[in-house]
Chains A and B, each alone.
Chain A
Amino acid sequence: MDWIFLSELAINGALTGLLYSLFAIGLVLIYKASSVPNLAQAGLTMVGAYVVLALARDLGLPLWLAIPIGAVLMFGLGFGIERVALRRLAGRPVVMILMMTLGLDIFLRGTTLAIWGGTSRSMELGVSYEPLFLGDIFLSRIHVVGAAVAIALFVAFMLFFRTRTGIKLRAIADDYMASWSVGISVERGVGLSWALASVVAMAAGVIWGEIQGVDQALSLLLLKGLTVAVLGGLDSILGAVVAGILLGIIENVGADFLDPIVGGGSRELIVAAVLILTVMIRPHGLFGRHDIERV
């Protein structure tokens, strides 16, 4: 057993997993506020990546400017989507809202295809491709950067949910009617969660765009992001982070064992197995809350 090789697999898996978390955090934000897994998160991720590309490449803005401007635009887009498409669905069955997010996903992806075409473009963040050495272990720099972004966002949200606005958002996640009864604007809160999720989607889009190029394939992240979110518990940001690391490690280490046996392609199977087993054995995930039952 080569322990160095194994830990290299595990650490790189964990880093990749944190990039899944980056995607999953967006899902969790919307799930908390509206109890619906947002299938449009993939579409938002692509739009986020393309918006930054457009600002940086087409308009020639420096990245340090393109990314904050992109974030503001995505914030507005998220608010707008909630206002135009979702608010009118309030009180309808959750499955209808889910279908709406599916429609939005197709719409957003179609829009990027129509505007920017189907050829893959590179993000060019300027992160070096030279591997980073941690003792004898090779790490990819962009993965380290992405993982750092994921952790920074995680910390930022943990702090945010302790502020007054954050507490109101958690109150909304708990009980719409009670929120209205004390004058909390549920509509604004849900809008804010869409806005924040859109900004997170942009972060995921930029990092993943750098890794695999900006094109329609970015939307495939939805499968892994959703798996991470479900494993984490759908409504827990901490869950999204822990589950991301876990899935990344299982996927990377597991694939190394299984690929020689099944002849490649085992990553997808591992992710599918994790999703299916989670739903079967632990439907509320690692950290998901279930309704409090007093004894």
Chain B
Amino acid sequence: MQDKVEAQPILSMNSVEVLYDNVMLAIKGVSVQVPKGEMIALLGSNGAGKSTTLKAISGLLKAERGRVSRGEIKFEGTDITDMLAQNRVAQGICHVIEGRRVFEHLTPEENLTAAAPSGMSRSTLNVEKEKIYNYFPRLAERRNSLSGYLSGGEQQMLAIGRALVTQPKLLMLDEPSLGLAPFLVAEIFGILQKINKEDGMSVLLVEQNALAALEIVSEGYLIENGRVVMNGTAAALKANSDIQEFYLGAGEGTDFHNVKHYSRRKRWLS
């Protein structure tokens, strides 16, 4: 399966289990490796444990009363399993969380400023901002309007831009394509590819839109019920009949998202 063997992965997650509220076992021994400079996809349907996996890596579990109860997570060889989220960002891991949560009452300009590491000089910050506005010219046009009023696509671009300000070595994105028109998805994925190539930034991409994701990544993992059930190169996954049937099937896009919202609502009510 694993044809590409790198010297040392930038991220390596070994048999990680996550418990929410000390009772709810959300992922059950997930192992994921992200080779340095590669783009990797994490696929799977609703409730599979994709977001939980990202939160375990970024340290955002704590905010949701979750914890890693078994296994270890290493970033550039250092154990980060119990590190504070803010220190992981400083180490170079940034997580673009699900649902494009921009700071709505701040302008895009201020969103970028808010994410600046405390030690970053004003001039470096300005260089970073210009770089981001170059990647996403739409943001530049609206840099001084309230972010809450941006369109969905612009907000997703801002959420990614905001993460880039932290100068991540590993960028993790949780369903960035959700609810966006295909041409926007293509634009955003194109930029990700470009940054990956030019700056060597590694990417871990969570997607339900397997079709789009497998176009840009080199390798993918399929998660079901909190377990990795498949792992291989993008080409191998695309050729796999199960994947074709369940994730690349016709009319996938919109249906998927309806299902998602439905299950989301159910989760809130329960």
Residues of A whose CB lies within 8 Å of any CB of B are: 91, 164, 167-168, 170-171, 173-185, 289, 291-292, 294
CA–CA, A185 and B256, complex, Å: 35
B96: CB under 8 A from chain A? yes
Residues of B whose CB lies within 8 Å of any CB of A are: 58-60, 63, 65, 85-86, 88-90, 94-97, 101-106, 110-111, 113-117, 146, 148-149, 162-163, 165-166
CB atoms of A171 and B106 under 8 A apart? yes
CB atoms of A175 and B101 under 8 A apart? yes
CA–CA, A167 and B101, complex, Å: 16
CB atoms of B116 and A170 under 8 A apart? no
What is the chain B residue whose CB lies nearest that of A173?
Answer: B105
CB atoms of A182 and B94 under 8 A apart? yes
Q: Is the interface of A mostly helix, strand, loop or mixed?
A: helix
Q: Which residues of A contact B162 (CB under 8 A)?
A: 182
State whether A292 and B115 are in contact (beta carbons under 8 Å apart), knowing that A91-B63, A177-B60, A182-B94 are contacts in the complex: no
CA–CA, A91 and B103, complex, Å: 19
CB atoms of B113 and A181 under 8 A apart? no
Of A164, A170, A184, which is within 8 A of B105 by CB? A170
What is the chain B residue whose CB lies nearest that of A292?
Answer: B148
CB atoms of B110 and A182 under 8 A apart? no
State whether A177 and B97 are in contact (beta carbons under 8 Å apart), knowing that A171-B103, A182-B166 are contacts in the complex: yes
Q: Which residues of A contact B85 (CB under 8 A)?
A: 180-181, 183
CA–CA, A175 and B110, complex, Å: 14
Interface centre among A164, A173, A176, A181 (most CB of B within 10 A): A181
CB atoms of B86 and A185 under 8 A apart? yes
Q: Which residues of B contact A292 (CB under 8 A)?
A: 104-105, 146, 148-149
CA–CA, A183 and B118, complex, Å: 9
CA–CA, A292 and B149, complex, Å: 7
Interface centre among B65, B90, B101 (most CB of A within 10 A): B101
Q: Which residues of A contact B115 (CB under 8 A)?
A: 182-184
Q: Which residues of B contact A173 (CB under 8 A)?
A: 105
Q: Which residues of A contact B86 (CB under 8 A)?
A: 180, 183-185
CA–CA, A173 and B103, complex, Å: 9
Chain A-chain B contacts (Cβ-Cβ < 8 Å), number? 83
Q: Which residues of B contact A176 (CB under 8 A)?
A: 63
CB distance from A191 to the nearest CB of B (A): 14
Q: Which residues of B contact A180 (CB under 8 A)?
A: 59-60, 63, 85-86
Q: Which residues of B contact A291 (CB under 8 A)?
A: 104
CB atoms of A170 and B101 under 8 A apart? no
Of A91, A167, A179, A183, which is within 8 A of B113 by CB? A167
Q: Which residues of B contact A182 (CB under 8 A)?
A: 89, 94, 114-115, 162-163, 165-166
CB atoms of A167 and B114 under 8 A apart? yes
CA–CA, A131 and B65, complex, Å: 59
CA–CA, A168 and B148, complex, Å: 17
CA–CA, A171 and B106, complex, Å: 7
CA–CA, A181 and B160, complex, Å: 11
Q: Which residues of A contact B102 (CB under 8 A)?
A: 178
CB atoms of A170 and B97 under 8 A apart? no
Q: Which residues of A contact B110 (CB under 8 A)?
A: 167, 170-171
A-B contact pairs, 29 of them (CB 8 A): A167-B106, A170-B103, A170-B105, A171-B111, A171-B114, A173-B105, A174-B103, A174-B104, A175-B103, A177-B60, A177-B97, A179-B114, A180-B60, A180-B63, A180-B86, A181-B85, A181-B97, A181-B101, A181-B163, A182-B89, A182-B115, A183-B88, A183-B115, A183-B117, A184-B115, A291-B104, A292-B104, A292-B146, A292-B149
CB distance from B234 to the nearest CB of A (A): 27
CB atoms of B101 and A177 under 8 A apart? yes
Q: A177-B101, A184-B115, A291-B104 are in contact. List 13 more A-B contacts (CB 8 A).
A: A167-B110, A170-B114, A171-B106, A174-B106, A175-B103, A177-B60, A179-B114, A181-B58, A181-B85, A183-B85, A183-B166, A184-B114, A294-B148
What is the chain B residue whose CB lies nearest that of A235?
Answer: B105
Interface centre among A167, A289, A294 (most CB of B within 10 A): A167
CB distance from B39 to the nearest CB of A (A): 20
CB atoms of A178 and B106 under 8 A apart? no
Q: Which residues of A contact B89 (CB under 8 A)?
A: 181-183
What is the chain B residue whose CB lies nearest that of A162?
Answer: B110
CB distance from B76 to the nearest CB of A (A): 17
What is the chain A residue whose CB lies nearest that of B165?
Answer: A182
What is the chain B residue whose CB lies nearest that of A180?
Answer: B85
CB atoms of A164 and B148 under 8 A apart? no
CA–CA, A167 and B112, complex, Å: 10
Of A181, A289, A294, which is within 8 A of B60 by CB? A181
Q: Which residues of B contact A175 (CB under 8 A)?
A: 101, 103-104
CB atoms of B148 and A177 under 8 A apart? no
CA–CA, A184 and B113, complex, Å: 11
CA–CA, A167 and B104, complex, Å: 12
Q: Which residues of A contact B148 (CB under 8 A)?
A: 292, 294
